[in-house]
Amino acid sequence: MTATSTAHTHEVTNQPPPLDGFDPLACDPALGDAMARHGGSSALPALGELARLAGSAAAREHGRLADTNPPALRTHDRYGHRIDEVDFHPSWHWLMSRAIEHGLNAAPWGHDPGPAPHLVRAAGFYLWSQVEAGHGCPLSMTYASIPALRRAPELAAVWEPGLCSRAYDPALREPSTKGGLLAGMSMTEKQGGSDVRTNTTSATPAGDGSYALTGHKWFTSAPSSDVFLTLAQAPGGLTCFALPRVLPDGSRNAIRLQRLKDKLGNRANASAEIEYDGALRWPVGDAGRGVATIIEMVSMTRLDCVVGSASTIRAALSEAAHHVAHRHAFGTRLADAPAMAAVVADLAIESEAATALSMRLAAAVDGAADDRERALLRLALPAGKYFVCKRTPAVVAEALECLGGNGFVEESGMPRLYREAPLNSIWEGSGNVTALDLLRALSRDPSLADVLLGELEATAGAHAALDATVSRLRSELADPAPERARRLAELVALTLQGSQLLRHAPHSVAETFLASRLGGDGTGRTLGALPRGTDTAALVDRVTPRTG
């Protein structure tokens, strides 16, 4: 018998080209516009450089490799010595190095940060996280550690220069000998989770102002960081402490990595259970005020949760828009099929709203010296964290479906985005915790409601649907209740998104968002159920990546 060639059956047609060599900033007008209106225009050239790197074939491959080759824990060396080290794939180090070179760790806190530094850093974090989200965790915690660490000026003086450095130095050495440092946070315990006041880790005075900590931490991400902020029960009550992995004398601190968590997503990033066996550390902030101290770090990481979720939404949108621009079905390019165009257009609207809100929050951090900006952030941040992060899984699922069965296959990259999508809704306070935090802020300072409504006043009378929603928001603010905390958080986020788009986005974008999200039949609808007459082609073209 003669073998028959099957080469003619494997001609590849009607498949999109690889989404490589594109500029994620060029196809994201919402981000560019936000930079312009919030004072970050001067950073656009540098952000463009980072964006082009993020869209390169090399970066996208490193993102894939970091995810498919998760970190491994080595508790002991070959001779039996306890070492507690985590080995990462080279692609993880490649991603971390580029991120830190671009200041995504802590540039806003360093010398000469430039105009709108928190906005610029948020935009860079948003663009670069589209490559691979897991390595954003140590970047985010390093960024967030500085405000809390400054409660202990003597420690900040020692560690802050390394935390703000643009040098990536993953070696395990005494902090003062390294070119750059990373910070982590270790709060939750198995018996309490978010209820950190039930923590049982103890802190015993050890002399010279240090304390010895003993206890078990249930979830600590980036356990290979150089410095950690954590909570423990000290003689004066629950207190925040800082500890290095390597002590000033060069010996390793008594931090035992018990195991790495096998997580749904975020697989490139290590998350560990940690035992403190008399680990030495120093107090940060006042004794008994540990939650108040570390909440400054939590606030900054919550900002990155919003930015990171907006980034995931945008990454999923890019994949979907690219696919439908090149794929044909039933004799029609998918982007031209009315039903498909409606879905991708709706994904674009969701992305623009999430991006606009996340950058507005970052701008408020830049303006935090102003009482009104600081007050706005106190309500808008938990509301944005609740809503944008909560929307992300549904948005990514719809984007995945745009690719059909191809989207359900690992090679497409969509399953990685889908596994990542729920994460930011859980980290730094899950939905109920975040929504109730908004109520807590209102109960402590009812005047915050006036600041929020003042922000929305700029668009009063400009759109009936927004006015009606703001009216419902007023009613909820006047009578907040725990069982309606989610409703309040949703209204805060939606009205802020609608107001931002109405003020700054093209009319078609703002009108579509307001009519579909705030109109009479908006509640409970699926993505792609847009109002009659929506110019879906223009909305899709606005956000479609251009390759080559």
pLDDT higher than 90, residue 493: yes
Alpha carbon 297 to its chain centroid, in Å, reads 14
Return mean pLDDT, the chain: 94
**Alpha helix stretches (DSSP H) within 69-152:** 90-101, 117-129, 136-149
Instruction: Give the dihedral of Cα atoms 499, 302, 307, 72; nearest 10 deg.
Output: -160
Beta carbons of 439 and 429 less than 8 angstroms apart: no
d(CA 87, CA 84): 10
Quote the tokens at residue 192.
């309490």
Beta carbons of 340 and 334 less than 8 angstroms apart: yes
Using pLDDT thresholds of 50, 70 and 90, give the confidence band for residue 249.
Answer: very high
Using pLDDT thresholds of 50, 70 and 90, give the confidence band for residue 198.
Answer: confident
pLDDT higher than 90, residue 358: yes
Beta carbons of 84 and 256 less than 8 angstroms apart: yes
* Res 195: pLDDT: 82
Instruction: Tell me the mean pLDDT in the region 284-298.
Output: 88
Residue 183: name the closest of 163, 200, 202 by CA: 163
* Res 194: pLDDT: 78
pLDDT higher than 80, residue 4: no
pLDDT higher than 80, residue 193: no
**Residue whose structure tokens are 């029609």:** 332
Residues 6+ apart with CB under 8 A from 7: none
Beta carbons of 41 and 344 less than 8 angstroms apart: no
Residue 16: name the closest of 311, 383, 412 by CA: 412
| pLDDT one-digit tens code per residue, 362-402 | 999 999 999 999 999 999 999 999 999 999 999 999 999 99
* Res 10: pLDDT: 81
Q: Go through the chain and tell me how many residues it has.
A: 548
Quote the tokens at residue 28.
């994201």
Using pLDDT thresholds of 50, 70 and 90, give the confidence band for residue 523.
Answer: very low
Handedness of CA 228, 116, 386, 311 (dihedral sign): negative
Phi-psi region for residue 330, left (φ > 0), alpha (ψ -120 to 50) or beta? Answer: left
Instruction: Tell me the mean pLDDT in the region 253-263.
Output: 96
* Res 63: pLDDT: 98
* Res 6: pLDDT: 58
Collapsing DSSP to helix, strand or coil, 269 comes out as coil
Beta carbons of 259 and 272 less than 8 angstroms apart: yes
pLDDT higher than 60, residue 43: yes
Beta carbons of 242 and 149 less than 8 angstroms apart: yes
* Res 5: pLDDT: 58
Min mean pLDDT across 281-295, 361-375, 512-526 is at 512-526
Min mean pLDDT across 208-222, 285-299, 400-414 is at 285-299
Query: In sequence order, what DSSP letters do the residues of 230-267 get, joined into one string?
Result: EEEEETTEEEEEEEESB-TTSPBPSEEEEEE---SS-T
d(CA 285, CA 371): 23
Secondary structure, 3-state, 416-459: HHHHHCCHHHHCCCCHHHHHHHHHHHHHHCCCHHHHHHHHHHHH
Handedness of CA 96, 25, 364, 308 (dihedral sign): negative
pLDDT higher than 90, residue 525: no
* Res 371: pLDDT: 95
Instruction: Tell me the mean pLDDT in the region 159-174.
Output: 96
**Stronger pLDDT, 445 or 196, i.e. the higher one:** 445
| pLDDT one-digit tens code per residue, 44-95 | 999 999 999 999 999 999 999 999 999 999 999 999 999 999 999 999 999 9
Beta carbons of 515 and 345 less than 8 angstroms apart: no
- Sheet strands (E) in 300-443: 328-329, 332-333
Instruction: Tell me the mean pLDDT in the region 407-413.
Output: 96
pLDDT higher than 60, residue 524: no
Residue 330 C-beta-side C-alpha neighbours within 13 Å: 7
Q: How many CB atoms lie within 10 A of CB 329?
A: 12
Percent composition of the chain: helix, strand, coil (DSSP 3-state, to 5): 55, 15, 30
Beta carbons of 106 and 164 less than 8 angstroms apart: yes
Quote the tokens at residue 64.
């894939």
